[in-house]
Every structure is written in C-alpha cells, then in structure tokens.
Chain A
C-alpha cells in the first residue's frame, strides 16, 4: 500500500518501461511528422509513381493487396528512411527512456514542472480525429510488433492495456521476489500504519529495523524518522536532521541528462536545490530554540544564527530564499525576546546597549527579508506586512511608558488616530534624540516616517 524506500527493479519492469517509451517515442515522432507534412504542399506525382499506384489499385480490386500495406501510401522513400531509423533504434533500445526524458525538464523542487511564468498561447483548435489517430497508432503498432515478440506475455498484455489507455489494478511487479524485499515491504507498511495511528514506540522500533537493511536509503524515509524521533525526544530529532544535513552532500550538481530512479524533491540536495532535511532541521531548531529562548536560554538560538550566517555564504543556501527567510525569522524572534525583556526604567549605557541590540535585530530582519525577496525575484510569500507591523510593535516597546501598557491592536490598525495616542508615549524627547543617533542604521522608511511623525506631534 505504501511506497517502499528501495528501488525495485526487475526484468518485467524494465521491459515495461522500454516498451512504453519506445511506443511513445515512435508515436510522437510519427504524429508530429504528419503534422509537418500536412503543412507542405504535395509534390506532383511522377509518371512512375502513377503507374505504381495504378498497379496497386488493381491489385486492391483483385483482393491481393494486403491491408497492412495500405499505410504505405506515404511513398517508398519514406519507408526506407524509417527502416534506417528502426535499425538505429534497435541499437539504442535501452536509450528510449533517455530519449524521452531528454526534452523534459526535470524539476528538483517539485515532482511536477510548475512554470512560474506561464506562456499564454492561442487555443489549440485542431481536434484529433479517429482517422488520424488510427493511422498513426496502426503504424506504430506495426513497428512495435518486433519488440513485442520477445517479451513475456504478461508484458505484452500490460502494454496492450496501457496503449489502450486502461489501468491495470494489479501491480505489474507482483510483490516481493526475495525475502529481503518482502521484509522491506512489510516493515514499510507497518511503519506508516503505526505512524498514522500514533504508536510511536512501535514505529520507532520498525524504523530502527528498516534503516539497518542494507538496501534501504534513509533519505527516502527521513521525514518519518524525524516525526518519530520528534515524539520520542525533540532534541534527538534535531540531531538526526543535523546529521542528515552534514552527511549528505549538497555539492553535487543535478544533471538533467541523467534519468534518476528517485526523485530529488524530498530526498536529496544539489548545488541549486537545498535538501528538504536541511530546511526541516533549521525550521525545527528555530521552533525549538524559540521555546528555549523564552525560558531564558539564548545560547542555542545564537548558535543557530551563527550557523545560518555561515551557511548563506555557500551554495545552494546562498540562493535559497527560504534560508534567508529563516535567517530573518531568527532575528525576529531575537528582537521580540529582547524587546519584551527591555526594561523601560533602566537608564544610561545599559539602556542604550539593550536598545541597540533590539534595533540591530530589527534591522537584520528587514535586511534579510529584502535578500529573500531579491533571491526569489519577488516570488516568496513572506507576509511582509505582518512582519513589518510586528517589528513596529517591538520598537514601540522600547519607548512605552511602563504605566500604560500598550494595547497591541492600537498599533496594528495603523491609523492616524493611533499615532496621536502614541505621541503621548514619546514625551521624553531625550529618548528620541538618543534614538536618533542610531537611526542611521534603520533602512526602513516606515519606521523613520513613524518617528518623524511623532517628532512633529511632540514638538507641536
């Protein structure tokens, strides 16, 4: 029922693929070729050809003309060409699959190709007729006859169903052929069932057993392992993900020309694809360390920030907007924590230092969000509005009167009226001027605007 983490290969399966891609390639070529020919002007028939056609017509009348040969109306020349091609293909029978995939873009981020900029074309108005389809398919079926002779009857039946567009309920490769595979199958099914039912202890044991089988690639099931470990011990799951990220290299380049049996989407990384386990590790660590931070343990989150700072210097992380987003989120958490801890009663350099810290983090958030935006070319959904509003609120905390706790919704509405309210909070101009020194660091116009406004109102 579930996907097994090994690559099952058998003669039946490879034959099936071979047949399928061969058929598709043949069909596509024939189909498109007909297209071209339709567009060209028909050349005038020569005397010779007319004679031949006459002869053929007569034979047809007598009934000696084979129905199969009907399709040859394209002319002998074409047939010769095709024969050559066929010989060529027999050599490259194994490459049919490669040939098919050559033109197809292999995405790394998703299983399917999701174009970010869609081309709009005119509606394809030509309706496929049975006549045309039948012509092509009969031709291709004749071409396929040779390769069908040597495959098993099961393959043949399967192939016939496939090209008729039907689905076969039973799997072509029926179950396990050896005990190891059988074991893997059983364990995988049990693993998913127990995870879905929340039997984490059993799932843990199964997972431990499964990954010790030599063939099993842990990269195919790491997410389940992560989930199980997370239930058992959150920190262990982080260690596991960290281990995954350090062991499996991202320095390989993803070559479009190779046919990968496994998809790289969740499994692996490359020079331009951040592996999902690394992202998962960063997210999980951030979530976990946030909790720790608010229990006054800021050691880990600082380490995480340092780690990401290192990571963003090398590919693929430096070009991945999500890494930058995580980076900015780290600073945001930090800013929130420090600003909420900020003691408005404090004076002197202590106050300045802690204030600068908060503002530093706020600026970092903004800076990295901008990088994220750049890297994704505006395609990253980062909820900038909400983040900016929150950052504003963090900043406000630095200046608020301890006596009047600030209502969060007031500053969120962002109305004028609210700013008037705010003006009361910033009566102490000394604060403002102190702040002014550090203001150069602020890039964001919003914040500047905000404080200019308050300046005006307080001076007036």
Chain B
C-alpha cells in the first residue's frame, strides 16, 4: 500500500525547526487509520513522529572509557610497566601499589619508569592554570624543561619502585580547581603564535575522519559464509602517516552497555603511507548486494591508498591485507585529492575529486595481472571548479544510480551522470548559507548539512530526480565553518532511527537530533526537540564520531522499554590522538555514571599483553596515593610538645639504618648505586616544624659527609621546583604555599605534606670513595687523548675555584649589607601576607621557625662554601641566596627567643663565627 508522505511544496519540502512544525495532513481516525501510520489518538500526520515517548530524547552521558590512548603509536611503545587497575574493592592503601615486573627485570634496574609521554598526558590532563600570576616569579615553571629523565636523581632503584611512581604530586583539590593547562598546550600555542600573531588555528577542510569504525567482509568470508567483521582503522605516528587496521571486539561484559576493545599489537595490520593521512574511509555497499565492502581507503596529502582485506582470522588474531599501489594526485590533475567514494553497486569502481573540483572515475586493477596500481578512467573525468569558490571543501558521494555521482563544493551540488554524459546543478548556495557536509544515509536519502539547516535529500523521487524532502533548522552559529555531521543508524523493525550529530572544533558541545524513516523510505519525520550534550573528554573540539551498528532491543518485557537504548559513540577530540568511547543512554534508571570504566583502563590483546594506560588512570592512581598518605597522617593525634622527642627518635633510627647500610657497602666492596632516603627509614607520621626537620637533616648530612658520603643538595631540589636555590625546606614550603594558599583552605597542610614527601623521595646519597675508585678505573681504561681532555676539565675547575675564592674573599665585607639591600627589592610583597596568615594561626611555632631559618640558611652557606666549592658556580651564590634572607625573618629573629632548638642554635652560632672567620 502506498504510504503517505508529508505534504509540502516539492522542491522545498517541509521546513522544520524548533517551533516550526511544518505542514500536516489530516487523517480521520475511522477513515484512514490503515493507510497512514499515525498513533491512535492522533488526527494529523505530523512532521513529528509522535510514536516515541516524550522522554526518548533524554539522552545522558552514561559512561566513557578510552579505546585507544593518546600516545603517538600505541603499538610501538614497549610498555614494560603495568599500572595496576584500580577498583574500589581493593584495600586502598596496601594493594594499590604493586609491580608486575619479574625478578629478572628488577635486577636489570634502570628501567625508564616514567616515560615522557605519560608525564605530558598527565600535565595536559591537569589543565593547570597559573593560580595567580603576580605571586609566582615569572620563571617558575612547574613541569616544563625539567628533563627529569636524564637527571641522575630520577634513577631509581628497584626496591622502592612501588613507593615513588611519580614525582609530580598533585592534590585532588588542585585538580578540580584548576581547569586550564599552562604547560603543553601553551607551549604549542606559543609556537603557533610565532607563526601568526593572532593565534588563529587554521584547519584544512579536507581533513576528515582520522579513524573509522565499520564492517568489512572479505571474499574469503563470503566464501565461507562468515559474517561481517567489525574493524577500526586509524592513523598514528608523529606525522600521522601510519595507518593501523585492527579488529574491534565486543568484550563480554555483564554490564548493561557494551564494552569494545581493540586487539593487541600482534594482530593489527600496520602500514606507513609515507605522507600525512587526511581521511580514512570504509566504503558503503548497496543493501541489495547483501554484503559489506572489503576495502579501506586512505587519502593522504599526495595520494590515494586502497587496502583490500583478504582475510581476518577467525580468532581475530591476524589481518591479511593486500595493498594496491597508491594513486598519486598527479594522475588526475595538479591538486591534492579531497574525497573519494566507492560505487555501492560495483565494488571495484570509485569516484575521486580533488581540492579544486576536478573529478574522475577510477577502478581497482583486475586480478591476475601484473599491474597492481589503481586506474583512472581517461574519458570519465571533468571539473566542477567554480572561480567564485575559494574553499577546498569538496565531497563526492554516489547518487541514486550506478552511473550518477553527486559532487559538492561549498556553494553547490552537481549531479553528474557519466554514463549518459550530463550534469545538472541541484542546489546553489551563495547567499545565506554554505554547504558544509554531505553524507549518504541509506539507499533512499542523503543528508546535507548547511550552515543553517540539516537537509534530507531524497535520491529517488517520482522522476528519478533528487529532491529536498525535509529540512531542520538547527540555529547553530552560521559563522562557524568547522561543523561536521555524523549519522548513526539504529534499526527498529519497521522503521529506522537516524541520529544526526553536529560537532564543531570550536567547542565540545554536540548537537544531536533524531529522525525516523519508515522501512519503505516514504515517510521521514523528526522525533523530538534536539538535545545538546557535552563530551566529558578534555578537548577543545570534536574531530570525529564513529559508530557501531546497533538496533533497538525488542525483547524487553517492560512496556516502552525497547525505546531505551544505549548509544555507543567513538569520539576523537581535536589535539589528541586518543579515541574514547562514550555511551549515551535514555534509560531513566541509569542515573550514575557507571563505575565500570574505572576498572576498564587497560586493553589486553590475545598474544602478548599490551597495556595502554589511560592518562587519567595515572592521575586517579596518584590521587588515591596522595589521599591515602594524607589520611594516614591525618588520623594520628598530633602533639606539638612531643615533636622534639619524635625528631630525636627519628634521627636515631635514621642514623642506625644508615650505619647498617654503610657496613653492608663495606662488606660488598663493589660499586654501589645511589640510594634514596626512603630506603633508610619512613618519615615520621606527622610533624609541623619543617625548619627543625631541615636542621635535623643538615646535621645528619654533615655528620655523614665526614664519612665520605655524598648527598643531594637541597638547593638542587628547590632549583628544580622553584628555579631558585633555597636550602631551607621551610622556605620551599613557604614559596609553594604562596602559590597554593589561595586555592584551598587546607593548603598549609597539603603543601607541608607535599614538600615533606618531595624532599624525602628526592634526597639521595652515595659513597664518594666508591665513585672515586670507579672513576679511577674508568680513567685508566681511557686512551691518552681522552685523559688529557679530562685533565683539562679539572684544570678549569681549579681555575674557577681560585677565582671564586678570590672573589668571595674580596666581597665578604659588603656581602651582608648587599644582601640586606637586595632582599628588600627582590622579595615580593605576598610573602608578608603569607607570614601574617601564619601568625594568626600558629603563634608559637612561628618563632622557632624563623629563627631557625636564619641560622639554617647561613649554616648551609658555610657548608656549601666549604665543601662543595668546586661543584657550584659559587660566584652566583650571593644573588641566589638573597631570598633566603627574607624580610620576614630579619625582624622576627631578633625579637623572639628560640625555645625549641636552643641546643642546635648554639651550635650554629659557633659555625656562624667559623664562617665569618673563613671568609675573612
């Protein structure tokens, strides 16, 4: 029976939008209910499909997980480290940190633990913003340029690996408070700023999907009557020239939604196309052929590549492909290819268009011939170049007939029948809108996205012409030319639902509207008002969305429940190579984001485990770690009076274990690698007096320095953190507090804990004479020429030392006055602010700290000048030291007595004298 169409004038069709309902047709219930598919209580055939419940479009983001990580080439990185997946069930503090490394690996040591990438992804995911640019000195850089990989301090030994995974400590509150990155992204922007001052990012409209998901059915599958396989193809690599084809698997899961994963590295097909990939496509095949395509098309900057899938292993372990010789753009004309489409009725024929509108029909080579290249037909070519059109945006799709193609540029669509040698213009858009995207929907319809509307083009109308059937005004900003359209088809027995997504690169909001089409392709209607959702990934815009085939669940016992669907979306954001999966659901019972995704961080292949960590795993992991640490310290009762006792005990334990270690080293006699303080002893649970802690460390270090041990200088730590050389932990703490104090009420506590942990994990020591022995040995093994060179180095150092001694002795007298002057000019105002804060909060402890700070810093000056003269460019010392003599310390140290560390202070004063003597 001929089904009704919507009324409307023919070339225009129904024009719909929010509040625009368009024409309707009266349907008398008793008279025509069998002709027209309307709901029982409806008297009109609307443009709106009223069959769906009103809540149908209430889609929410239910869950998201990462399919492919944001690493350049997921199958190249030999990830030796497996970050354990975190689940809520695990006992949080103990089971969390575990190493999957075998014993052999551990002995090898020196595994690069933290690769540069995971750090970058961490930083970019944090989206740091400078909390308050005025406070922080301009050269403070939190993560950039630290080059931690090369630094010896980061060479960890294996025993404590589980304890110190990362050196970037990020409090949870910071993560939520900070929203924008100031590191990686900014660096990129800075680079582009040099190129164009206005910081405009330019995109090529011919760059389309850089990853596709689709079904393929190879000829061997057809022979063996196998079903189609779902595959994913995407571009990777530094220049985006590697194409990876991998099976996409549906993981068995007991959750309500589907979980997809891609296979491990052994089962993917990888090819380097030698040029940046612009578009990847999987051709669509007419439904009448009853099969799927077996080709994957990739357009690069200079050529067209077609890869034919010969077979996919039944267990998804191997993809066997045949790669045709590429077709270079010079074969057609002088411009790069923009788009390609396969003939849906002939799997060997394709149409191609270049960026200026030159098009041609080509075909795959015949089998059993020596020639393996793609052939362009010499007679079937032409051009739709329009001198009024400057954009490179060009599209080609197949029309209703096997010799007809539709060619689109930004201002027109031309239908070409290369069989009958005619072309005709279907639409011209030069006035109020621009054509942005054209997609095949099914055999009846194509969808056109303009800057104003979504337009459904009917391919087969009464006289075989293309007509505009229905349009939806989307009200999106028509100045944004970066919109892309994606269509998801969901089958529902007798009608199909088409979800049309519009994405932009300007923002990460996705516009989504649903349309239904009856099975015979007659009646197309919209479902409800469109919705807008935001994708949860941290990205600036959306590059592409891909889908898997889905259908409505008809077997649900509940009424209306088969309208509840979970839509699987595969999303790639701009500026990232990661592909994530998003699940949209309109199921009302689905309130919370499911906890499943927190478990699902790693993707496991069949042969050989390739872990692809989610960058945010590390962060979650981190946060968990930090929270645990903090919780531990928080739970203890803190007693200020007992702190001294605590330190004494701690010092005792520390030196005890140190002695033990030294004995061990003596016994072993061989070369001993660098050791960390964390090995010796854990930090005491809770203490507040950081200056006391500093002085304890100083004494400890001083004592063992005499025993020829080398220690990490505190200044190095502060230099890495603050770009200033400060040797008092308390000052590091204060500086950090200036930055973080504004962010959180508990900043004092958090900062103190962080500083403690940083210091404790970064302090390393080694036995000096062991190194000397080693260096002796190495030196002896060298040739004379190299020896001379090394000797020359020593000479320089000596010279420096002489200069230095000369310089320092000369400037001893003015040094103090000089620093007094410079401190007032160099110290920044907020320091006063922060000290006042502390006065209000902790009256007593302040006294001791300030006094100790003065003492401590001076002691260190002395130490440095004395023992480490050669290693530092000491002429710069007075300048870098000045902040240590801070404003706040000067007056308070005179006023207030030192109740806690009197004993040590007296020691220090002795040293002070010594020092003066030394300089004099």
Contacts and interface: CB of A to CB of B under 8 A. Distances in A.
A268 to B, nearest CB: 13
Contacts of B507: 1
B531 A380 contact: no
B510 to A, nearest CB: 11
B423 A167 contact: no
A78 to B, nearest CB: 18
A2 B476 contact: yes
B817 interface: no
Contacts of B468: 110, 114
Interface stretch (A88-96, A224-232, A310-318, A349-357): A224-232
Interface stretch (A64-72, A124-132, A427-435): A124-132
B482 A383 contact: no
Nearest to B478: A3
Interface stretch (A36-44, A247-255, A276-284, A416-424): A276-284
Given A114-B12, A283-B24, A379-B9, A130 B335 contact: yes
A423 B886 CA distance: 112
B858 to A, nearest CB: 54
Contacts of A303: none
Interface string A270-298: 00000010001001100100110010000
Contact of B391 (A165, A222, A321): A165
A157 B200 contact: yes
Max chain A Cβ within 10 angstroms of own Cβ: one of B335, B424, B431, B476: B431
B715 to A, nearest CB: 44
A162 interface: yes
A382 B7 contact: yes
B768 to A, nearest CB: 57
B431 A118 contact: no
Interface string A170-193: 111100000000000000000011
Contacts of B479: 171-173
A290 B44 contact: yes
Interface residues of A, number: 108
Given A2-B475, A111-B450, A153-B197, A380 B18 contact: no
B673 interface: no
Interface in B529-581: 529-532, 541
Contacts of A122: 421-423
A158 interface: yes
A456 interface: no
Contacts of B32: 386, 389-390, 393, 408, 412
Interface residues of chain A: helix, strand, loop or mixed (majority): helix
Interface in B13-37: 13, 15, 17-28, 30-36
Contacts of B476: 1-3
B427 interface: yes
A118 B465 contact: yes
A109 interface: yes
Nearest to A125: B382
Contacts of A325: 7, 23
B165 interface: no
B203 A166 contact: yes
A127 B9 contact: no
B430 interface: yes
Contacts of B504: 1
Contacts of B44: 287, 290
Interface in A208-238: 222-228, 230
Interface string B461-480: 00001001001010111111
A165 B11 contact: no
Contacts of A383: 4-5, 7, 25
B7 A2 contact: no
B505 A169 contact: yes
Interface in B498-541: 504-507, 509, 529-532, 541
Given A27-B387, A118-B426, A196-B531, A287 B24 contact: yes
Max chain B Cβ within 10 angstroms of own Cβ: one of A173, A263, A265: A265
Contacts of B104: none
B619 interface: no
Contacts of A127: 332-333, 358, 381-383
B385 interface: yes
Contacts of A163: 390
Nearest to A174: B198
A111 to B, nearest CB: 4
A172 B479 CA distance: 9
B9 A322 contact: yes
A412 B36 CA distance: 11
Given A118-B425, A124-B384, A379-B10, A112 B532 contact: no
B878 interface: no
Contact of A393 (B28, B200, B204): B28
B481 interface: yes
A409 B31 contact: no
B333 A170 contact: no
B8 interface: yes
Max chain A Cβ within 10 angstroms of own Cβ: one of B2, B5, B28, B450: B28
A385 B387 CA distance: 47
Contacts of A128: 333, 335, 356-358, 383, 385
Interface in B374-390: 381-385, 387-388, 390
A338 B485 CA distance: 48
A87 interface: no
B424 A121 contact: yes
B452 interface: yes
B727 to A, nearest CB: 47
Contacts of B425: 115, 118-119
A157 B196 contact: yes
A266 B472 CA distance: 12
A266 B200 contact: no
Interface string B400-427: 0000000000000000101001111111
A192 B475 CA distance: 8
A220 B233 CA distance: 43
A263 B432 contact: yes
A113 B432 CA distance: 10
Max chain B Cβ within 10 angstroms of own Cβ: one of A128, A223, A227, A230: A128
B392 interface: yes
A329 B506 contact: no
A390 B31 CA distance: 6
Nearest to B201: A169
A104 B430 CA distance: 7
B452 A123 contact: no
A32 interface: yes
B607 interface: no
B35 A386 contact: yes
Contact of B421 (A123, A164, A290): A123
A24 B391 CA distance: 11
A265 B475 CA distance: 13
Given A101-B431, A169-B505, A332-B26, A116 B356 contact: no
A68 B334 CA distance: 22
Max chain B Cβ within 10 angstroms of own Cβ: one of A1, A23, A101, A294: A1
A192 B509 CA distance: 13
Query: Would you list the 5 A-B pairs with minimal beta carbon distance, nearest first?
Result: A130-B334, A165-B392, A227-B19, A223-B19, A393-B31
12 contacts: A1-B506, A113-B428, A113-B429, A113-B430, A122-B421, A133-B334, A154-B200, A165-B355, A263-B431, A266-B15, A287-B24, A390-B32
Interface of B: 2, 4-13, 15, 17-28, 30-36, 43-44, 196-205, 332-335, 355-358, 381-385, 387-388, 390-393, 416, 418, 421-433, 435, 450, 452-453, 465, 468, 471, 473, 475-482, 504-507, 509, 529-532, 541
Interface of A: 1-4, 20, 23-24, 27-28, 31-32, 100-101, 104-107, 109-116, 118-131, 133, 136, 153-154, 157-158, 161-173, 192-193, 195-198, 222-228, 230, 263, 265-266, 276, 280, 283-284, 287, 290-291, 294, 321-322, 325-326, 329, 332-333, 336, 340, 376, 379-383, 385-387, 389-390, 393-394, 408-409, 412
